[in-house]
């Protein structure tokens, strides 16, 4: 890890707080390895007065400086581990080295853990340029707005090969990327993608300049450390004869045609499977799909979880459309688009999404009488949001044109398309917009069975943003509290604890706790939204004249931009394509 004080304090303190909550038993072991241009191991032997640091500067031929006590029993050595976590922030306080030997550090960590299996947690802040797996800067800032985006795939197979070695020994690697500059996530992420790990991304992380992102990092890290985890897992997908699995999507290694190797499995992982019809199903009344997950719990218990789904077979296209799941379709199209962007090109991926929409509408139109097809777009009720979601997906970070998009941001968004659970992926593509000034028109029940004020959801169009209104935009991993310039002074006083709109400070990242009904209702609603997700979310109060107002408006995906159609224009375009 290239250590910087802005995150190391948070990491060490959070781990200290959660040591007793990590899913574990009496066998659990833990070890620490730091790195810049060299490797720093820590001997945690109990009879030492304090942790002993061992430095290895030969990163081209990695070796372990001592055979024992680099991994220690967590329960037996908890005091020594706590001492090390308290020392680490000050231990590297004067370190100004910016080099990173990530590849060598991963090789060393693999040597440490491969006899037992487990997980490796990596925090990376810069582009690794030294030693095995060293990378070069491949991003051209001048091409961030172009259509032909390059370097979406890895530049080396080093991290994939090491990931496959890890997978074979039941080791998963989880990444926390805190880079402010380009770090080639497309190459580094292979270590997690093929070992069944997960990837977290905190762009432009800084504890002072971006405190909201620091809070999200802490929340995500706490969730990561304490959530349930399964080890040595395999998942087998089976289906009725006549069907076959065409493609798997997610973070894993495909061990055989229907068996996924998952060294670690957690409740926040999402997977997608694309099926093919190989033979006629005329003799079947139903088809079945079954997913069986075999894993070892953190207590050492071998368990199996089985999900089975049966679907009726029909030769009526109208019945197929009536039972279609538009969110599942969008999720699969996003996964296919992410693959196609790498194997072909970004324009090809966008065109394929558009063609999918045209094909689905044309096929449904063929089931309608000719009198119902004249002058209207043939949209099935069950897929009524499909065009809107496809239009929004073309403006999503992974696939958009014409907007300055950093390469790492785009690659991470593509990774999210592949592995994020479907409900959160849809929310990232088409966020939720709520008019807070209308809070109380409806109510909702929380997890604690308490009723709180709620409000309607709005379409993502700037036409719905009123200068007198206040809005919450919830995009899953970030939330904006937008305040119009003509908002009433009373609302500012009751909710934001300022006399008027002009007094709202720039960079406000939370809502003050005030003792009045309006403040309590607004905070209850925002907390309700934040509680309904596994990970944290950045939170920003945005004035109408704020510097970051365009971050808010870039989510108005139904609007027209210089490089993309509005949702209305998109529907007109579809109608022309369907007719032709």
| Integer Cα distance of 420 and 426 in angstroms | 9
Fold entry, domain 5-226: Rossmann fold (3.40.50)
Reduced 3-state DSSP string for 40-106: EEEECCCCCCCCEEEEECCCCCCCCCCCCCCCEECCCCHHHHHHHHHHHHHHCCCCCCCCCCHHHHH
DSSP assignment letter at 379? -
Domain positions in the chain are 5-226, 230-313, 326-406, 431-553
CATH code of 431-553, in short, is 3.40.20.10
The per-residue pLDDT for range 405-426, each reduced to its tens digit, is 999 999 999 999 999 999 999 9
Burial 119-129 (b: 16+ CB within 10 A, else e): bbbbbbbbbbb
Helix (H, G, I), strand (E, B) or coil at 265: strand
**Percentage of the chain surpassing pLDDT 70?**
98
The predicted structure's pLDDT at residue 3? 37
Mean pLDDT of the chain: 93
Q: 164: buried, middle or exposed (CB in 10 Å: 19+, 13-18, 0-12)? A: middle
Mean pLDDT, to the nearest integer, of 263-271? Answer: 96
How much is the pTM?
0.95
| Residue 392 pLDDT > 60 | yes
Contact 250, 419 (CB under 8 A): yes
The answer to whether 2 and 98 have CB atoms below 8 angstroms apart is: yes
Over residues 181-215, the pLDDT tens digits come to: 999 999 999 999 999 999 999 998 988 888 999 99
Residue 1's pLDDT is: 39
Topology (CATH level 3) of domain 230-313: Immunoglobulin-like (2.60.40)
Fold of 326-406: 1.20.120
């Amino acid at each position: 890890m290239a250590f910087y004080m802005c995150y190391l304090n948070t990491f060490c303190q959070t781990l200290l707080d959660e040591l007793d909550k990590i899913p574990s038993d009496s066998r659990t072991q833990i070890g620490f390895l730091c790195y810049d241009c060299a490797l720093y191991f820590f001997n945690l032997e109990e009879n030492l007065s304090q942790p002993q640091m061992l430095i290895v500067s030969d990163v081209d031929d990695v070796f372990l400086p001592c055979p024992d006590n680099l991994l220690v029993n967590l329960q037996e050595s908890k005091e020594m581990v706590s001492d090390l976590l308290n020392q680490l922030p000050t231990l590297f306080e004067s370190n100004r080295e910016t080099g990173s030997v990530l590849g060598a550090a991963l090789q060393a960590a693999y040597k440490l853990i491969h006899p037992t299996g487990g997980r490796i947690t990596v925090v990376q802040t810069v582009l690794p340029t030294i030693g095995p797996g060293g990378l070069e800067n491949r991003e051209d800032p001048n091409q961030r707005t172009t259509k032909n985006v390059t370097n979406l795939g890895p530049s080396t197979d080093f991290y994939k090969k090491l990931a496959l070695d890890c997978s074979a020994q039941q080791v998963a690697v989880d990444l926390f990327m805190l880079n402010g500059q380009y770090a080639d996530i497309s190459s580094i992420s292979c270590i997690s993608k093929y070992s069944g790990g997960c990837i977290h991304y905190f762009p432009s992380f800084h504890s002072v300049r971006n405190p909201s992102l620091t809070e999200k990092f802490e929340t995500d890290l706490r969730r990561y450390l304490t959530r349930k985890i399964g080890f040595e897992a395999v998942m087998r997908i089976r289906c009725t004869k006549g069907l076959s699995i065409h493609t798997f999507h997610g973070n894993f290694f495909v061990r055989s045609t229907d068996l996924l190797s998952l060294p670690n499995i957690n409740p926040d992982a999402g997977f997608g499977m694309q099926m093919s019809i190989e033979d006629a199903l005329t003799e079947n009344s139903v088809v079945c799909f079954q997913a069986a997950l075999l894993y070892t719990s953190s207590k050492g218990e071998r368990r199996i979880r089985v999900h089975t789904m049966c679907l009726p077979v029909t030769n009526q296209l109208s019945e197929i459309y009536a039972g279609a799941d538009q969110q599942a379709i969008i999720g699969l199209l996003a996964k296919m688009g992410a693959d196609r962007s790498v194997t072909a090109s970004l324009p090809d991926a966008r065109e394929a999404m558009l063609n999918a929409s045209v094909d689905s509408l044309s096929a449904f139109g063929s089931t309608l009488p000719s009198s119902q097809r004249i002058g209207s777009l043939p949209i099935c009720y069950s897929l009524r949001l499909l065009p809107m979601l496809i239009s929004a997906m073309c403006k999503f970070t992974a696939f958009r044109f014409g907007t300055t998009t950093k390469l790492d941001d785009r690659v991470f968004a593509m990774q999210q398309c592949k592995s994020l659970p479907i409900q959160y992926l849809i929310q990232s593509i088409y966020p939720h917009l709520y008019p807070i000034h209308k809070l109380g028109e409806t109510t909702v029940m929380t997890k604690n069975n308490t009723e709180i004020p709620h409000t309607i959801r709005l379409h993502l169009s700037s036409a719905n943003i009123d200068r007198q209104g206040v809005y919450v935009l919830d995009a899953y991993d970030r939330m904006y509290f937008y305040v119009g310039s003509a908002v009433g002074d009373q609302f500012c006083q009751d909710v934001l604890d300022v006399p008027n709109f002009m007094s709202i400070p720039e960079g406000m990242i939370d809502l003050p706790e005030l003792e009045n009904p309006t403040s309590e209702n607004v905070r209850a609603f925002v907390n309700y939204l934040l509680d309904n997700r596994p990970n944290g979310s950045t939170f920003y109060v945005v004035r109408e004249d704020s510097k970051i107002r365009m971050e808010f408006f870039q989510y108005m995906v139904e609007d027209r931009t210089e490089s993309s159609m509005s949702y209305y224009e998109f529907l007109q375009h579809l109608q022309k394509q369907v007719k032709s």
